[in-house]
Structure 1
């Protein structure tokens, strides 16, 4: 036997043993002496058919065998060929590695010993102390078997592991584990004998690579080595499968109105691009809640349809109408979402939801992504057509708003269809240069009833509730519309508006670095208003227009100049400092028809640093800013080489000539109490500081022009303190002064904060809180109603107003959990406000437990822990 120091490589057609046999035949002159062992000394490539006396393998002819080893030994006495010393054999997509590999030609078996590792075509890794395989690696037995497979779940790699004292591999497609275990957890590095966080132990585990299923017989789920669950038999898809027909993780339900029950989802894989999920929920108090979902992906897009419904066996568990759905036998909902690409520039789609009643989704705890906020619950349905060019945008939409809170009146919700927007930018003509932009919008909406709000009273009263020297006036009532007592949020009837704006701008920079941007625009609007004629709505219609159905137009031309002069200085390690004065002037005529046109989309007016230099500070098309106005300000910024960034900005807006659009309120009083209603506006400012990319402080505020008191302020911090501290946090404080002409008679003040502390890389605690620092609304309104009744019938003692307190915990979530590569566990206590059917705001207290064992499934358990509450639409819950 002669050893070779280099790696010996053989390549042959067909199968594992063919390579050895052909290598032996080609070197037969040195293998004729009985008992003599020869060592190959050179790399040989064999491409001829093996002799008939030798076994012919059934492998693919195109697959070649590549052998790498420190030495290759031929033993003719025992009819074996052995590769020894870091042996590595590649056959097609499969690779076998071991300290020693011996092939028995008589039995066509391969015996691998020592650190055996077999990698198949799927990437799965089989390890063991010894392996006995057929010559194509597809069949055999393995001692101390372990299999590791890496799959991707939710964009993250997950490794799954099988192990058993002994396993059998059949046809390369099926592996049987006797007394086996399965887990997705990494073994302990310091003590791999310790049981993983979770594993499934079974008398037999069969992994079928052809059907991609794993079956467990006499199985037990263990947590940290402790048995917690038993199933005599179950089957599940292996981690490589993303879609397979079968049952999903059940969901358990506990509620006084619904009783106890469980939802059993069943997934049907109709086709690779089409599936159905049926989730019947069996409820002890209400019967069977049917739920289903269809998902279908087509060549040009995809759509989803969900439906749910129930014939209630105990409707009396819910309040009767109009405070609940207790008078309904059948309740249900349907929702759908889809998007399709017409071509590379156009797409269309929808996102809609319909319910039999506003309480159904909440009462039956059906998750819906279209539901927004805890305070003003509504479902928004929309359908759209969108086109996008290189410098253009087209969008057409329709909206339907469904109020889902007990105090919502659906007749006040508008149906908006269509809303059409078009935006096109082109280069200006040669004699002007710059950029020309064309914008257009068409909006039509219908509403059955006018949405109005009373303005707080400011006159004298027979009784004024006063606490600590602060007077709380009562709200006016809107029995008929008068501008001094009512705010109109939405007008009954139909309203159509068509708007178009053509604008031009161009930037010039002179040799001194001054930046001049002249601009001009022409805005036109046409309104078609048809108010409903009943009661106060008729009075409102006469206020809006002179006839029941009327047309109004508006034209607004403007020219202006934006001037900036940045001074930049580089102070080396102290960074680059920039001081930039900014001045802007806009010249235009006064706004016409102020207060005599509907205002649906321009009611959200916030004057701050972000809107100071806007040409038009109104948020929508229904209002347009007029008059001559100049906007003045300056900003200072610093950027250092170490990553520091700071920015300070300050300015104000001045009405130079013409009618101030913000001084004369419309039917929603937009503009009043905005900080822009006087000739010289409030001051606005911003301060931002980012010491590094992980920490940001920002404050923006609006200051009273006369005494510099704060009218509006928002300040907060977002920080990720790692690696200095394992903490992520954010905290924001907001303060808004009273705006009585907009219906807010008291200041609004609150804090929202969230924080997560990573105790270890796996364990964490987290919390969030929303605190209302000026919680007067509920008690004030309750007193207002009682005092109004007293004035109408002054019998007995007048109601007494009591201080409701200055703070209110509007929302709270505290909890913690554990997360690693195979397990996610979290436990949270949640407090959220809910407006009950009887008009009482209460706190809903819930404990939420969530456990996810990756590749097996997840379970959510939610339990309401209120001592007593009146839930929205539910008669009684304890």
Structure 2
């Protein structure tokens, strides 16, 4: 029936003029003529012109004036703009006209109520005596939490901008701020020049200050954000520059500061980028620089105590991989010299994979070099252990080559893996009179690993039990270089079945050893998942190069134990431990995470027994990080890091936030308790307030739809 009425309206409009028939479609319950030049439509009237739609109770079209006289309530929909009014007189193409007692809704987020609204050229909407808010207003007597009152507003629909004249900010109808002119982006615009959400920060060292970021789009592919930060103790300008390229992206951030904490200007610069060079090559880089050791922590920019700037070129394909990296390290630690880190490290690696006799053969070569700027000769303390070596100014270049062959078989459920490796290294060193300038060695190794997985399926769960046995052997032929890169090894699931459990290449675990392990897992249809693992190694000879707390110093290693409990995607509990035969713990790492619709918790507890070879390794720490949503408006967040050795918190923070459809308020306080010769404990308080409905603060949208006015 509606289709017949639409066709009839098109025929009637054609009798009034060709323009009307070509440009507009009229749909109504009743259509009649009132004289020769007037068409009257009533009862669920709709006028459609392109993507614009008008709904009203009665419409009169006058051919002489080419105008539509509309009786409301009427609704005009044009893209993301909705206009509701009592009455209107508008052109037949719906592009020009006047609407009385109108309310404009932009992207279902921002509403503008005006005594009169003018439509101009289908692009501009002019509003007079306007009240603007994104808060829900359910009645004539309801006061929004905030509103902007203006003498006039022009909405440029193409530019997606709002231009205010004589604007006043009111909170609960109390005037708090006035501006003669104001420009704001409408809710549909993602990138618009202007101020972003300000924040108020109080710091125990810097005092109370205000951050006011200003966003500057520079085309579709780049932008710049400048953030002045002023307080009684600092004048700082922060910046962030981003640019997207056809083959990559660039991100630069930094700050310039003049404050009362140190003399002279302070600054930092962090930059990173990645670019596709073609032929599967990727170039990546990052730059990390700061003017002094404490600047990043003083201003909360970054908590790193060692900076690394690097440039790398890599290519990874199905049968080969290549990467070259050059890294510069800078220490911010008290008492540690950058010149002896070493600060400059370079690596070049290439690996080629071949299929040989049913197995894989990986041929690899790499060059490693590190240089210290200090010219002091390396020293070894009396009663030397692998951990008493002081590298001082030692410089090293290492050339390595290796071949690794791997093949596997499965026989009656028994899985057999065979690995064989031969490696060769040539070392050259400087500033180390205690070692020859050139050293060379070969490192052959092989292993055979047996697995016999057993599975059982029940109505409730799937159980898998897998015993593992590995026999391996390794040796070194030739010289023994200094151990610089393997003094902090750990015994874990990742290296239980490795040729060598040392973390680097300088030291090699040698001799004949047998490793046994047992894995068990249960995957339940009720969502519960359990996993248990245990492993232990037996060596023919002891290896004194391992630190005592690794659990690998004796011919029989400590037990490596791991357990995990999971429930769906919400709860995960994991524990890893290194335990001696007498059940004495050497190391324990417990982690818990749980997340629901209302709350999230992530926690970890790490404990490590003190090591006589490595001072200051006695360690016990608890971390907590969580959030809780009380209702659809209020939420809280908190974090804690507690050092049990010092019997004090290292860091703690707590924050609350309130968010509804028209405002976001956040308050947070944090305390850093750690101190050193160049750092003092500090406390920070941050407050942010964002008015939603503009592109700087979007409305919650679908979350609030169920709470609209009845």
In the TM superposition, residue 733 of structure 1 has moved relative to its aligned partner by 1.6
TM-score normalised over the length of structure 1: 0.72
| d(CA) in 1 for partners of 2:377, 2:635 | 48
| d(CA) in 1 for partners of 2:243, 2:603 | 42
- 1:713 is matched with 588
Partner-residue secondary structure (3-state), 1:506: strand
The structure-2 alpha-carbon separation of the partners of 1:243 and 1:590, relative to structure 1 and needing over 3 Å to count, comes to: same
- 2:705 is matched with none
| d(CA) in 2 for partners of 1:264, 1:852 | 12
Corresponding residue to 2:362 among 421, 437, 462: 437
Partner-residue secondary structure (3-state), 2:509: coil
- 1:143 is matched with 100
| d(CA) in 1 for partners of 2:4, 2:153 | 39
Is residue 173 of structure 1 aligned with residue 49 of structure 2?
A: no
Equivalent residues in 2 for 1:362-373 (5 A)?
362-363=297-298, 365=299, 368=301, 371-373=302-304
| d(CA) in 1 for partners of 2:386, 2:446 | 38
Equivalent residues in 2 for 1:167-206 (5 A)?
167-185=117-135, 187=136, 194-206=142-154
Is residue 385 of structure 1 aligned with residue 342 of structure 2?
A: no
In the TM superposition, residue 391 of structure 1 has moved relative to its aligned partner by 4.0
| d(CA) in 1 for partners of 2:296, 2:45 | 63
Q: Deviations over 1:136-171 (max 9, x none)?
A: 111112234233333xxxxxxx83332323322111
In the TM superposition, residue 678 of structure 1 has moved relative to its aligned partner by 0.5
- 2:456 is matched with 569
Q: Is the 8 A contact 2:28 2:41 kept in 1?
A: yes
The structure-2 alpha-carbon separation of the partners of 1:502 and 1:165, relative to structure 1 and needing over 3 Å to count, comes to: farther
- 1:783 is matched with none
Partner-residue secondary structure (3-state), 2:14: helix
- 2:52 is matched with 94
- 2:89 is matched with 132
| d(CA) in 2 for partners of 1:756, 1:180 | 39
- 1:850 is matched with 688
Q: Is the 8 A contact 1:690 1:696 kept in 2?
A: yes
| d(CA) in 2 for partners of 1:824, 1:9 | 47
Q: Deviations over 1:377-413 (max 9, x none)?
A: 2332111212222343322222122223444422233
Corresponding residue to 2:326 among 389, 398, 413: 398
In the TM superposition, residue 625 of structure 1 has moved relative to its aligned partner by 2.4
- 2:707 is matched with none
The structure-2 alpha-carbon separation of the partners of 1:9 and 1:565, relative to structure 1 and needing over 3 Å to count, comes to: same
- 1:693 is matched with 569
Corresponding residue to 1:70 among 24, 29, 38: 29
Further displaced range: 248-257 or 408-417: 248-257
Q: Is the 8 A contact 1:20 1:81 kept in 2?
A: no
The structure-2 alpha-carbon separation of the partners of 1:284 and 1:748, relative to structure 1 and needing over 3 Å to count, comes to: closer
Q: Is the 8 A contact 1:558 1:587 kept in 2?
A: yes
Q: Is the 8 A contact 1:412 1:450 kept in 2?
A: no
Is residue 622 of structure 1 aligned with residue 579 of structure 2?
A: no
Partner-residue secondary structure (3-state), 2:89: strand
- 1:9 is matched with 6
Corresponding residue to 1:819 among 659, 662, 672: 659
The structure-2 alpha-carbon separation of the partners of 1:89 and 1:768, relative to structure 1 and needing over 3 Å to count, comes to: same
The structure-2 alpha-carbon separation of the partners of 1:290 and 1:641, relative to structure 1 and needing over 3 Å to count, comes to: closer
Equivalent residues in 2 for 1:240-639 (5 A)?
240-248=188-196, 265-279=213-227, 289=236, 292-306=239-253, 308-309=255-256, 317-318=260-261, 325-326=262-263, 329-343=264-278, 345-363=280-298, 365=299, 368=301, 371-373=302-304, 377-426=305-354, 428-429=355-356, 432-449=357-374, 483-484=384-385, 487-488=388-389, 490-510=391-411, 512-531=412-431, 541-543=432-434, 545-546=435-436, 550-573=437-460, 575-590=461-476, 593-594=479-480, 596-600=481-485, 602-639=486-523
Equivalent residues in 2 for 1:759-778 (5 A)?
759-775=630-646
Q: Is the 8 A contact 2:192 2:215 kept in 1?
A: yes
| d(CA) in 2 for partners of 1:279, 1:727 | 33
- 2:669 is matched with 829
More strand by share: 2
The structure-2 alpha-carbon separation of the partners of 1:143 and 1:587, relative to structure 1 and needing over 3 Å to count, comes to: same
| d(CA) in 1 for partners of 2:523, 2:365 | 40
Partner-residue secondary structure (3-state), 1:9: helix
Q: Is the 8 A contact 1:200 1:222 kept in 2?
A: yes
Q: Is the 8 A contact 1:442 1:497 kept in 2?
A: yes
Q: Is the 8 A contact 1:673 1:742 kept in 2?
A: no
Q: Deviations over 1:87-117 (max 9, x none)?
A: 3333222222333333222221123334532
- 2:700 is matched with none
Q: Is the 8 A contact 1:6 1:70 kept in 2?
A: no
Q: Is the 8 A contact 2:381 2:389 kept in 1?
A: no
| d(CA) in 2 for partners of 1:513, 1:107 | 90
Extract unaligned runs of 5+ from structure 1. Answer: 13-18, 26-49, 151-157, 319-324, 454-477, 532-540, 776-806, 859-878
In the TM superposition, residue 694 of structure 1 has moved relative to its aligned partner by 0.9
Is residue 80 of structure 1 aligned with residue 35 of structure 2?
A: no
| d(CA) in 1 for partners of 2:104, 2:270 | 43
- 2:537 is matched with 653
Partner-residue secondary structure (3-state), 1:621: coil
| CA RMSD after TM alignment | 3.3
Partner-residue secondary structure (3-state), 1:271: coil
In the TM superposition, residue 247 of structure 1 has moved relative to its aligned partner by 4.8
- 1:788 is matched with none
In the TM superposition, residue 583 of structure 1 has moved relative to its aligned partner by 0.8
| d(CA) in 2 for partners of 1:515, 1:385 | 38
The structure-2 alpha-carbon separation of the partners of 1:836 and 1:678, relative to structure 1 and needing over 3 Å to count, comes to: closer
In the TM superposition, residue 576 of structure 1 has moved relative to its aligned partner by 1.0
The structure-2 alpha-carbon separation of the partners of 1:650 and 1:836, relative to structure 1 and needing over 3 Å to count, comes to: closer
The structure-2 alpha-carbon separation of the partners of 1:766 and 1:303, relative to structure 1 and needing over 3 Å to count, comes to: closer
Partner-residue secondary structure (3-state), 1:817: strand
In the TM superposition, residue 684 of structure 1 has moved relative to its aligned partner by 0.9
- 1:210 is matched with 158
In the TM superposition, residue 285 of structure 1 has moved relative to its aligned partner by 5.8
Q: How many residues in Structure 1 have an aligned counterpart in Structure 2?
A: 696
